[in-house]
Amino acid sequence: MKLFKHKSFNIIWTALRIWLGYQWISAGWGKVTGGGWVGSTAGASITGFLKGAVAKAGGAHPAVQSWYADFIKNIALPNATTFSYLVAYGEILVGISLILGALTVVGLIAGAFMNLNYLLAGTTSTNPNLYTVAIILLFVGANAYSIGLDHYILPFIKKTFGKKTDSIQTTS
């Protein structure tokens, strides 16, 4: 495992992170500029997607588990417009985060969470690949974002917010 955390791999992890960010920003941009995700037709596209997922919940070996179909029917579909905006702009934000290397861990977790939900909805496509890359980048840790804005952001956050936690004393 030390091999993957060696600093000489940083350029590879950075390239992989930027590629992953591009995938996300492309998908999100297509939703924002296309129809059915935002604006006056918001919710239309995701409703079709979600209804398709619910349809895959039947049979002996369903592609969508019943508990997830229940989530879709009871939470996602009644709030399709909200979920539509969350998906479209969430994908763009994940892409920006990963391309810039800004709050990278948050971007990787958010992207992996979206991929997981797409997989749970019975859609494979590129989701297993994107999910796997996100998990790999999470495992390599700081080397995934050593080249990026996190190099400046994280020390600032630690300096600004770390003092509050440092002043808490524990007694034994």
Q: pLDDT digits over 79-133, tens only?
A: 999 999 999 999 999 999 999 999 999 999 999 999 999 999 999 899 999 999 9
CA dist 143 and 17 (Å) reads 11
Q: Are 98 and 111 in contact (CB under 8 A)?
A: yes
CA dist 93 and 167 (Å) reads 34
Q: Please, which pLDDT band fits residue 3 given cuts at 50, 70 and 90?
A: low
> pTM above the 0.85 mark?
yes
* pLDDT tens-digit readout, 10-44: 999 999 999 999 999 999 999 999 989 999 999 99
CA dist 140 and 20 (Å) reads 15
